Amino acid sequence: MAEEQLRDSLGEFAYFLRGLTGALDEAGGWYGVFLQRDPEGLRACLEGREVPPWDVVESLLQDLSGRYGTQVAAEAGACARQLYGAAVAAYDELTGPAELRARLDAALGELRDATRRESDLRADLEGAEPGTEADALGQELAWAADDMARAQARVQELRLRIEGSEWTEGPPLVVGHLAPHEPAAGPVAGPVMEEAAAKGAAAAEGDQGRKPAKERAAEAPESGTGTGQVPPLPLPPHAQQAVATAVTHLAELRAAGRGGEAHAVLCAAARRPAEELPFIAQELERCGLDADVPTLLWEVACLPPVPLAAAAAALAAAGRARDCASLLRQGVARPVGEVASAARALLDDGCRAEARDLLAALVRTRTAQEAAGLADATDVPEVLLPLLLEAAEESVPHRYRDLVHALRMAGVPDRLTGVR
């Protein structure tokens, strides 16, 4: 595509974004938060020099919904998805893969920092006395959890873009429980929003019409309880009761707007025995708390390697393949040595496919040199290295040759990798 056309795609999204923010309150909502935190970055996006992460766009659409209603936000959302997909594709082609990898490295650093802060605040909250101190820590924890969720969403989005996957509607954002403003009354969105929404909706409808039914069905969102899911093995009655009680308590906290305490309940749930995890996710969905399932999985992904592997095995056994894959993708943000330990634990549990998926995610998101570090991070290189290369060859073929070269440069003999 010609450079002029690429820049037109950036300009169209920037035009839409100016219309969206023009309909919002600068002093409130997520828009006000973004203006306060990063005014220069937001200005670059409004001028078409940058494309914001999808979580920012999604939050602005939340503001729009609170201000003008769900119908206006739904129409704008259809437009946003269409224009955003074109804009990120244009931006990535103009800047090149090196820029994307640099951004992924930065996002992974932000994710590690946000995870540490959230963990520290959670520990402080557990030891705090009820009252003003606990309330303040709860608020801080809610914002820290938001930062962590946004960093996680950005890592996932950048990984998709690096892999060259077609952008459809962005990675799921695990926020939604903070309320930086109350909905404000106001007129319907102006002509810029109406024009952009109509254009985006028409384009989206046209694209859907051109795609075969099988392809459209494949793009439809899947639920954790999709057709063909294997029911979890029965839990002992006392464990079932403990899960039900925890989820009921969580629902009450969500209804009362006590986000910090609700997050602490999810943290505790993530640390329950691995075989309970599918039941917890199922119970959350049954109670209408579907948005808490990704948060639960993120907390599980922060566990040490062995319990992480046990959780992935439990999800796989219960037929929750999508949740298992999400957990494994998140698990590779840790040091390579811990990834090796988790892969070995999965193999010990008889979960070879899940171990291979974990190693494939490692190859996708880390440099070839980092992935090759698996050789020094395990006491069974003759087991993990062939699986690592198999995962690369099947799932990330364009990285396979780089990985083989990195292993050889690290002095790993071919007999340990199975390479001929």
- Averaged over 129-149, what is the pLDDT? 77
Answer whether residue 148 is part of any domain. yes
Q: Are 32 and 127 members of one domain?
A: yes
Contact 3, 155 (CB under 8 A): no
Q: Are 250 and 185 members of one domain?
A: no
Domain count, the chain: 2
If one counts every other C-beta atom within 10 angstroms of the C-beta of residue 101, the result is: 14
Sign of CA dihedral 329, 333, 339, 345: negative
CA dist 59 and 68 (Å) reads 14
pTM above 0.75, yes or no: no
Task: Give the per-residue pLDDT at 212.
Answer: 31
DSSP string for 260-283:
HHHHHHHHHHHTS-GGGHHHHHHH
Q: Are 42 and 99 members of one domain?
A: yes
Contact 361, 104 (CB under 8 A): no
Q: Are 251 and 159 members of one domain?
A: no
Task: Give the per-residue pLDDT at 157.
Answer: 85
Contact 282, 132 (CB under 8 A): no
Answer whether residue 91 is part of any domain. yes
Answer whether residue 226 is part of any domain. no
Answer whether residue 111 is part of any domain. yes
Q: Across 148-152, 168-172, 387-391, which has the greatest mean pLDDT?
A: 387-391
Q: Are 209 and 244 members of one domain?
A: no
Task: Give the per-residue pLDDT at 204.
Answer: 37
| Residue % of the chain over a pLDDT of 90 | 18
Task: Give the per-residue pLDDT at 341.
Answer: 92
Give the tens place of pLDDT for each residue, 294-309. 888 888 888 889 999 9
Domain edge (last residue) among 178, 213, 248: 213
Answer whether residue 219 is part of any domain. no
Q: Are 188 and 77 members of one domain?
A: yes
Give the tens place of pLDDT for each residue, 58-96. 889 888 887 887 778 878 888 888 889 889 989 988 988
Answer whether residue 201 is part of any domain. yes
Answer whether residue 224 is part of any domain. no
Q: Are 202 and 245 members of one domain?
A: no
Residue 35: how many CA atoms within 13 Å on its side-chain side? 12
In this model, does residue 21 exceed pLDDT 50? yes
In this model, does residue 185 exceed pLDDT 80? no
CA-to-CA dists, residue 317 to 32, 35, 306, 327, angstroms = 45, 46, 17, 14
CA-to-CA dists, residue 416 to 154, 380, 388, 389, 400, angstroms = 36, 9, 11, 11, 16
Give percent helix, percent strand, percent coil of the chain, each to the nearest 5: 75, 0, 25
Pick from 172, 179, 168, 99: nearest CA to 139: 179
CA-to-CA dists, residue 254 to 91, 177, 292, 394, angstroms = 38, 8, 10, 43
Lowest mean pLDDT among 10-14, 192-196, 266-270: 192-196
Domain edge (last residue) among 213, 245, 280: 213
- Averaged over 9-31, what is the pLDDT? 88
Sign of CA dihedral 390, 392, 393, 394: positive
Give the tens place of pLDDT for each residue, 354-390. 999 999 988 887 888 888 888 888 777 888 888 999 9
| Residue % of the chain over a pLDDT of 70 | 82
> Confidence band (pLDDT; 50, 70, 90) for 420?
low
Q: Are 110 and 247 members of one domain?
A: no
Answer whether residue 228 is part of any domain. no
In this model, does residue 215 exceed pLDDT 60? no
Q: Are 267 and 203 members of one domain?
A: no
Give the tens place of pLDDT for each residue, 322-356. 899 889 988 887 888 889 999 999 999 899 999 99
Q: Are 139 and 13 members of one domain?
A: yes
State the residue range of the domain holding 316.
237-417
Q: Are 249 and 321 members of one domain?
A: yes
Sign of CA dihedral 139, 257, 297, 34: negative
Site of tokens 């690429």: 6
Contact 389, 397 (CB under 8 A): no
Give the tens place of pLDDT for each residue, 243-289. 888 899 889 888 888 777 788 888 888 888 999 999 999 999 989 89
Q: Are 200 and 256 members of one domain?
A: no
